[in-house]
Amino acid sequence: MQEFLSAIRSDASSEEIAAIPIPEVYRAAHVRRDEVGMFDGLESAEKDPRKSLHVGDVAVPELAPDEAYVAVMASAINFNTVWTSIFEPLPTFGFLDRLGKESRWGARHALDYHVVGSDAAGVVLRTGSAVRNWKPGDKVTVHCNYVDDQSPSAHDDSILADNQRIWGFETNFGGLADLAVVKANQLMPKPRHLTWEEAAANALCNSTSYRMLVSKNGAQMQQGDKVLVWGASGGLGAYAVQYVLNGGGTPVGVVSSPEKVELLHEFGVDAVIDRKSAGYRFWKDEHTQDESEWRRLGKDIRSLVGEDVDIVFEHPGRQTMGASVFAAKRGGIIMTCAATSGYMIEYDNRHLWMKLKTIKGSHFANYREAWDANQLVCEGKILPPLSAVYTLEHVGDAAYQVHRNLHEGKIGVLCLAPEEGLGIDDPEFRAEVGEDRITLFRRHGA
Ligand code: NAP
């Protein structure tokens, strides 16, 4: 892969990159099938990604006609890599085995190792014979909606497709590696003003937040809407608050430290609640919720923005869902895409039906939505909330930070890129967007 790196760094032509041979093996972060029981009996918090995520050489698989090899310059940690690395809620080898039964090409994925990672920025090295829109040398970012486009179910809103998968989580050959295998319909242009690691941070969380708030498939946020954003300085939340601000709404961010409050203020979010210092106890004990605590949250929101919120951007799940359903205004909507703190949810249904509220599920994004969200990054209207950068060798440490909620925004991972700061093709536009704005989270995390 070093030959590719030298070619990329010297801006080699498409033909020159196409002439470099694809290696037989590549360096990749992976978990192993024979280790799925390694954390049996431990609590989630005790399960340590540093023990289960390995970095080493794996074989380069054959390329299908609709796929591309991408040299991954940088990737990013998503929570799904945490789930894979702690084998929760299920070991991801079951996903690979199911994919393995679908076709000859699917069979490549059912291996005894799972190369993880659902974000990437890099350079196309080769394209399969059916790929029309991309060629070797193209600088790209990768979104993670992995869809079989031969199924009719994939042709309305592709995230609804019967066999939709998340690349690098429910498929093999993900982005935390020097090389990735992706479908051509996962490729998007790399934002020219960003470094590799800034460009790699966005696709998964940015597209998810875009669908939840902006798309016709989500809440269709209106100007003036008040939006409660849990984890507002985290991966999803840091994009959500930008969409609310861009769309003329008012975000109410919830975070868990004074440092995060300060970061959000600098990011332009005026109404911020520190849930730790507020000391909410939505659950009295494991089985009983406390409505007076929901009321206290509602009162805190009204004291900041004057009224109840139109939309709740929900992902913590069990710990917060009761409060989220309560806090939405009459007729409001609770958009949910996850359940970090537990997926068996409990809320008081009277608050839902009597006040005509809606709970709507959402999952990643279709190609159109991911493309439109990427375009906003390209235009400098959405900023990468990149707070820290690790090398691939230290991917376990990076995943540990996210697992233990020790991070802000996104954590980047350098794969082929030997150092931070490379890959900027349009420094003038970068200056126009503002170096300080682009690097706010990074300076805060440093
Ligand atoms: P993240 O970077 O870890 O951010 C999540 C934030 O949630 C944290 O920063 C934390 O903020 C807050 N949080 C955690 N536990 C909480 C609790 N018990 N109560 C209130 N707030 C809590 O993760 P992310 O990338 O935003 O992802 C969040 C979840 O969404 C994960 O479960 C992930 O798997 C899922 N996800 C789903 C999709 C999808 O397509 N369905 C896409 C992306 C992510 P504070 O501590 O500062 O409050």
3-state secondary structure of 22: coil
Instruction: State the chain's maximal CA–CA distance in angstroms.
Output: 67
> Mean pLDDT across the stretch 283-295?
95
Instruction: Answer yes or no: is the C-beta of 49 below 6 A from any ligand 1 atom.
Output: no
Q: Per-residue confidence at 223, pLDDT binned at 50, 70, 90?
A: very high
User: Per-residue pLDDT averaged across 23-40, rounded?
Assistant: 97
Q: What is the mean pLDDT of residues 272-277?
A: 98
The percentage of the chain sitting over the pLDDT mark of 90, rounded to a whole number, equals: 98
Nearest Cα to Cα of residue 369 among 203, 251, 170, 228: 203
Pairing of strands 250-255, 328-336: unpaired
Please, what are the domains in the chain?
2-205+365-445 (3.90.180.10), 219-361 (3.40.50.720)
**CB of 282 shorter than 6 A to ligand 1:** no
165 lines ligand 1 (CB under 6 A): no
Instruction: Tell me whether the omega of the peptide bond preceding residue 61 falls within 30 degrees of 0, making it cis.
Output: no
Q: Where are the beta strands (DSSP E) in 37-77?
A: 54-59, 67-76
Nearest CA to ligand 1 atom 20: 316
- Which ligand 1 atom lies nearest to the CA of residue 78? 25
The whole-angstrom separation of Cα 401 and Cα 85 is 13
The rounded distance, in Å, linking the Cα atoms of 318 and 386 is 27
List % helix, strand, coil for the chain (3-state, nearest 5): 35, 25, 40
Residue with the two structure tokens 């875009």: 210
Distance (Å, rounded) from C-alpha 93 to C-alpha 36? 9
| Crossing angle for the helix pair 203-213 and 235-246, to the nearest 10 degrees | 50
* pLDDT of 429 strictly over 90: yes
Closest residue by Cα to residue 268 from 123, 365, 381, 371: 381
The pLDDT assigned to 200 comes to: 98
Interval 304-309 mean pLDDT: 98
Tell which atom from ligand 1 comes closest to the C-alpha of 340.
Answer: 32
pLDDT of residue 149: 85
β-sheet bridge partners, residue 335: 313, 360
Instruction: Please tell me if the CB atom of residue 319 comes closer than 6 angstroms to any atom of ligand 1.
Output: yes
161 lines ligand 1 (CB under 6 A): no
Name 124's bridge partners: 70
Query: Does the pLDDT of residue 385 top 90, yes or no?
Result: yes
Q: Kindly state if the Cβ of 260 falls inside 6 Å of ligand 1.
A: yes
Nearest to 188 by CA among 199, 180, 176, 198: 199
Atom 15, ligand 1: residue with shortest CA distance: 316
Taking CA atoms, 395 is separated from 7, 90, 177, in Å, by 25, 21, 10
Q: What is the mean pLDDT of residues 371-392?
A: 98
pLDDT digit string, tens, across residues 317-356: 999 999 999 999 999 999 999 999 999 999 999 999 999 9
Extract the tokens encoding 144. 């993670």
Whether 410 is in the pocket of ligand 1, judged by its Cβ within 6 Å, is: no
| Other Cβ atoms within 10 Å of 326 Cβ, number | 24
**Ligand 1 midpoint to CA 340 (Å):** 6
Q: Taken in order 431, 435, 436, 441, is the CA torsion positive or negative? A: positive
User: Is ligand 1 within 6 A of the CB of residue 312?
Assistant: no
What is the 290 CA–ligand 1 centroid distance (Å)? 22
Gap between the Cα atoms of 126 and 14, Å rounded: 10
256 close to ligand 1 (CB < 6 Angstrom): yes
Quick one: which of 81, 83, 130 has its CA closest to 105? 130
Does residue 446 carry a pLDDT above 80?
no
What distance in angstroms lies between residue 314's CA and the mean position of ligand 1's atoms?
A: 9
Please indicate, yes or no, whether the overall pTM of this predicted structure exceeds 0.95.
yes
Question: What is the pLDDT at residue 445?
Answer: 72
Write the pLDDT tens digit of every residue in 175-221.
Answer: 999 999 999 999 999 999 999 999 999 999 999 999 999 999 999 99
Nearest to 253 by CA among 242, 243, 263, 264: 264
Q: How far is the CA of 286 from the centre of ligand 1 (A)?
A: 21
Residue identifier of the C-alpha nearest atom 25 of ligand 1: 235
227 neighbors 329 (Cβ within 8 angstroms): no
Q: Where are the alpha helices (DSSP H) in 58-108?
A: 79-85, 93-100
Element (DSSP H or E) covering residue 305: helix 291-305
Whole-angstrom Cα distance, residue 272 to residue 184? 40
Residue nearest to atom 24 of ligand 1 (CA): 235
pLDDT on residue 370: 98
Among 384, 350, 338, smallest CA distance to 190 is for 384
Pairwise CA distance, residues 245 & 20, whole Å: 45
Alpha-carbon gap, residue 281 to 298, rounded angstroms: 13
Query: Would you say the CB of residue 336 lies under 6 angstroms from ligand 1?
Result: no
Q: Measured between alpha carbons, how far is 206 from 87 in angstroms, rounded to an integer?
A: 25
| 338 Cα–ligand 1 center, Å | 8
Atom 9 of ligand 1, nearest CA residue = 234
Give the model's confidence band at 70: pLDDT under 50 very low, under 70 low, under 90 confident, else very high: very high
- Rounded CA separation 239/333 (Å): 19
Instruction: Give residue-wise pLDDT tens across range 130-173.
Output: 999 999 999 999 999 999 888 899 999 999 999 899 999 999 99
400 lines ligand 1 (CB under 6 A): no
